[in-house]
Amino acid sequence: MRPSVAANFILLLGACQSVPERHPVLPPEKPDASSYSQARSDAWSERRAVRPPIRWHPDGSACWIGGAVDQSFALDGAVIEIEPPERPSSRSRQAPSRGRQLDSSISPDNAWKAVSRDGNILLEGVDTERWQVVTVEGTNVLKYGTASWVYGEELDVQEAMWWRGDSQGLVYYRFDESNVPQYPLTLDMTSTRPTLSTEAYP
């Protein structure tokens, strides 16, 4: 019996020697506060690049687009060399729901309200029953006066229409989502009759 015991001991010893030496696995190094600050600064810079500010010049002769564009455009679309207009003072206004843009904008003289409805823009008289059609080719994928949900949700863009100072001109977004996949969404799931909607994504 002794030889067999010795043989078993040798085999076990050999098995123990064949196990590779283990080293503790260290967690990856966590970024410090400066790394977070730099990442945040980079993210805001990227956001400003894709959501440039839009302002009319005081005389209404041109519209300035900031950000990476940083150019002024005349009413015929030509680029003109002129200093950017000053930033207007902030005014209180109703904020849209999360991830959306305001669907209306009142002219500076309070005479007209530009409304984005069913993909098109209409002008409605504030104190009268007058109305005027601005666009007619808008659909659920070709939208005027509004933008993709990404602009509101991720870029904090709440406006899509800008009046000229004399209320005689309007600049607005034109968004074409015809090549973006449409995903179904179920809304009002807490009600007895939920509704089905679609959203262009991504």
pLDDT digits (tens, 9 = 90+) for 149-166: 777 777 778 888 999 989
The answer on pLDDT for 117 being more than 90 is yes
The answer on pLDDT for 114 being more than 90 is yes
CA distances from 63 to 27, 39, 83, 109, 147 (A): 53, 32, 11, 19, 19
Q: What pLDDT sits at residue 7?
A: 43
Domain chopping of the chain, boundaries: 50-86, 98-202
Q: What pLDDT sits at residue 150?
A: 78
Mean pLDDT of 17-34: 59
User: Mean pLDDT across the chain, nearest whole number?
Assistant: 79
Q: How far apart are CA 157 and CA 149, in angstroms?
A: 9
Instruction: Output 12 or 185, whichever has higher pLDDT.
Output: 185
Q: What pLDDT sits at residue 14?
A: 42
Longest dimension (CA), the chain: 112
Q: Determine how β-strand 112-117 pairs with β-strand 54-56.
A: unpaired
Q: Which of 45-49, 134-138, 173-177, 196-200 has the lowest mean pLDDT?
A: 45-49
Q: How far apart are CA 156 and CA 182, in angstroms?
A: 22
Q: How far apart are CA 196 and CA 185, in angstroms?
A: 6
Q: What pLDDT sits at residue 45?
A: 62
Q: Are 148 and 92 in contact (CB under 8 A)?
A: no
The answer on pLDDT for 172 being more than 70 is yes
Q: Which of 18-22, 65-69, 77-81, 186-190 has the lowest mean pLDDT?
A: 18-22
With cut-offs at 50, 70 and 90, classify the pLDDT of residue 12.
Answer: very low
String of DSSP letters for 38-78: HHHHHHHHHHHHHS--EEE-TTSSEEEE-TTT-EEEETTS-
Residue type, 168: Q
Mean pLDDT of 5-30: 50
- The two tokens of residue 105 are 């904008």
The answer on pLDDT for 43 being more than 80 is no
- The two tokens of residue 67 are 């950000």
Q: How far apart are CA 101 and CA 122, in angstroms?
A: 16
Query: 152 exposed, middle or buried (CB, 10 Å; 0-12, 13-18, 19+)?
Result: buried
Q: Are 200 and 181 in contact (CB under 8 A)?
A: yes
With cut-offs at 50, 70 and 90, classify the pLDDT of residue 48.
Answer: low
Q: Are 121 and 135 in contact (CB under 8 A)?
A: yes
Which residues have C-beta within 8 Å of that of residue 148, sequence separation ≥ 6? Answer: 175, 177, 200
The model carries a pTM of 0.66
